């Protein structure tokens, strides 16, 4: 259906026009093989299973993810296999390994992309940056994408609550002439609230920009800057954290989610309103050059190179944990642990 987004008309697909019953009809003869059980894999596989689709999981044996799949009820030899066996059995191969994992396992997956199958992604990275990933699918398979706009945990949580997450979809290659029906059916099957169309390139450009920007990198950096300033000016850790993080996550961001930024402003004090309206433009102008630089590096493939190089190191996870521990063990986030423990619902 056509929807007006701030004056721009877009085509979106909702559950009303593409109900679950239609998705089941489209996919009734398909075996959906979810390759990878790390971030998106568990949520999408479980949602597909709960919705009654024929789904199997492919994961390397002996690792934590394989054990997690078993704990979630997947049975080895029945609907849980190693990666190659799952790829062989699947007619739609959902390639949900990490970007580095996709590069490593590509020779195995490619071998089982026989004519008429579909190769499904939830991220445009591998295809868009094929110069670096070497992921080039054969011409006789569909190459499709559904990218939920949230983490796997959120995809699963909203599904179990009877809700749904917004997702984008894209078609890179339509070998069977039924790629669109296939991808819309899967989008609905994994629990999407509505689907909007994009391309593999645009998905990955917006995704990498968003993760490094507002969604993760920028918000973490801005919070650290404000917390550190307040501490230097003599405010206590509790006060600095509450004014920087707790009030944002527990009070203001939920108001934005409920009805928009203007709604959040309208439900704050007149002093807060005036300050926010006067200062938001200054912050926007300050960060616009950073966002321009970020987008250029994403589009050029520079960020992809950095990611692939880092993730390919044998000790990557060890180094990553050190970086995460640095955040966890900082005064700011130690304070956060204490503040969260003092929430009424967590007190016993």
**CA distance linking residue 11 with residue 298, whole number of Å:** 26
pLDDT digits (tens, 9 = 90+) for 316-331: 889 999 999 999 999 9
Instruction: Tell me which DSSP letter residue 133 carries.
Output: H
Do 10 and 147 belong together in one domain? yes
Q: What is the mean pLDDT of the chain?
A: 95
Domain end among 169, 198, 227? 198
Do 232 and 321 belong together in one domain? yes
Do 296 and 275 belong together in one domain? yes
pLDDT digits (tens, 9 = 90+) for 181-237: 999 999 999 999 899 999 999 999 999 999 999 999 999 999 999 999 999 999 999
**Residue 26's domain is classified under what CATH number?**
3.40.50.720
- With a cut of 90, say whether residue 271 has pLDDT above it: yes
221 inside domain: yes
The answer for residues whose C-beta is within 8 angstroms of residue 340's C-beta and 6 or more apart is: 346
Chain position carrying tokens 């029945």: 78
Percent of the chain having pLDDT more than 90? 90
- With a cut of 70, say whether residue 348 has pLDDT above it: no
Do 48 and 179 belong together in one domain? yes
The pLDDT of residue 268: 92
Do 178 and 263 belong together in one domain? no
Do 186 and 75 belong together in one domain? yes
Do 147 and 245 belong together in one domain? no
- With a cut of 80, say whether residue 48 has pLDDT above it: yes
Domain end among 175, 198, 221? 198
**CA distance linking residue 189 with residue 19, whole number of Å:** 9
296 inside domain: yes
Answer yes or no: are the C-beta atoms of 277 and 265 closer than 8 Å. yes
Structural domain that includes position 218: 210-346
Do 185 and 214 belong together in one domain? no
pLDDT digits (tens, 9 = 90+) for 127-138: 999 999 999 999
Do 114 and 225 belong together in one domain? no
Do 221 and 169 belong together in one domain? no
41 inside domain: yes
**CA distance linking residue 233 with residue 226, whole number of Å:** 11
Structure confidence at residue 8 as a pLDDT band (50, 70, 90): confident
204 inside domain: no
Q: What is the dihedral of CA 179, 137, 306, 197, to 10 degrees?
A: -10
Helix or strand run (H / E) with residue 289: helix 270-300
203 inside domain: no
The pLDDT of residue 306: 94
Distance of CA 144 to the CA centre of its chain: 16
pLDDT digits (tens, 9 = 90+) for 68-118: 999 999 999 999 999 999 999 999 999 999 988 999 999 999 999 999 999
Structure confidence at residue 314 as a pLDDT band (50, 70, 90): confident
Do 75 and 146 belong together in one domain? yes
Residues across the chain: 348
pTM of the prediction? 0.90
**Residue 320's domain is classified under what CATH number?**
1.10.1040.10
Structure confidence at residue 54 as a pLDDT band (50, 70, 90): very high
Q: For residue 206, give Cα distances in angstroms to 213, 215, 253, 291, 298.
A: 10, 11, 21, 11, 9
**CA distance linking residue 122 with residue 144, whole number of Å:** 9
Q: In the annotation, is 123 catalytic?
A: yes
Q: What is the mean pLDDT of residues 288-306?
A: 97
Count of domains observed in the chain? 2
Do 218 and 158 belong together in one domain? no
């Amino acid at each position: 259906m056509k929807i007006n987004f701030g004056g721009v008309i877009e085509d979106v697909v909702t559950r009303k026009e593409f109900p679950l019953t239609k998705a089941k009809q489209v996919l009734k003869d398909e075996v959906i093989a979810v390759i990878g059980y790390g971030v998106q894999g568990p949520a999408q596989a479980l949602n597909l299973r709960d919705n009654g689709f024929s789904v199997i999981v492919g994961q390397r044996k002996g690792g934590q993810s394989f054990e997690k799949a078993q704990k979630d009820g997947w049975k080895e030899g029945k609907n849980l296999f190693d990666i190659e066996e799952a790829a062989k059995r699947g007619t739609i191969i959902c390639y949900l390994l990490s970007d580095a994992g996709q590069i490593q396992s590509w020779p195995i997956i490619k071998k089982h992309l026989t004519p008429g199958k579909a190769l499904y992604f939830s991220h445009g990275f591998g295809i868009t940056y094929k110069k670096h990933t070497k992921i080039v699918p054969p011409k006789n398979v569909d190459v499709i994408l559904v990218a939920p706009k949230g983490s796997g945990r959120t995809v699963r949580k909203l599904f179990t609550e009877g809700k749904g997450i917004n997702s984008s979809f894209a078609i890179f290659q339509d070998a069977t002439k039924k790629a669109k029906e296939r991808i819309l059916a899967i989008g609905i099957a994994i629990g999407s609230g509505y689907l909007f169309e994009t391309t593999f390139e645009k998905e990955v450009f917006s995704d990498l920009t968003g993760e490094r920007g507002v969604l993760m990198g920028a918000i973490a950096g801005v919070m650290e800057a404000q917390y550190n300033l307040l501490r230097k000016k003599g405010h206590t850790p509790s006060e600095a954290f509450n004014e920087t993080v707790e009030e944002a996550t527990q009070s203001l961001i939920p108001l934005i989610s409920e009805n928009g930024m203007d709604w959040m402003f309208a439900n704050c004090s007149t002093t807060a309103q005036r300050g926010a309206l006067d200062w938001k433009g200054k912050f926007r102008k300050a960060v616009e050059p950073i966002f321009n630089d970020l987008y250029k590096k994403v589009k050029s493939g520079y960020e992809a190179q950095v990611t692939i190089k880092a993730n390919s190191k044998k000790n990557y996870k060890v180094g990553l944990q050190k970086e995460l521990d640095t955040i966890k063990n900082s005064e700011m986030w130690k304070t956060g642990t204490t503040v969260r423990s003092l929430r009424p619902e967590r007190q016993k």
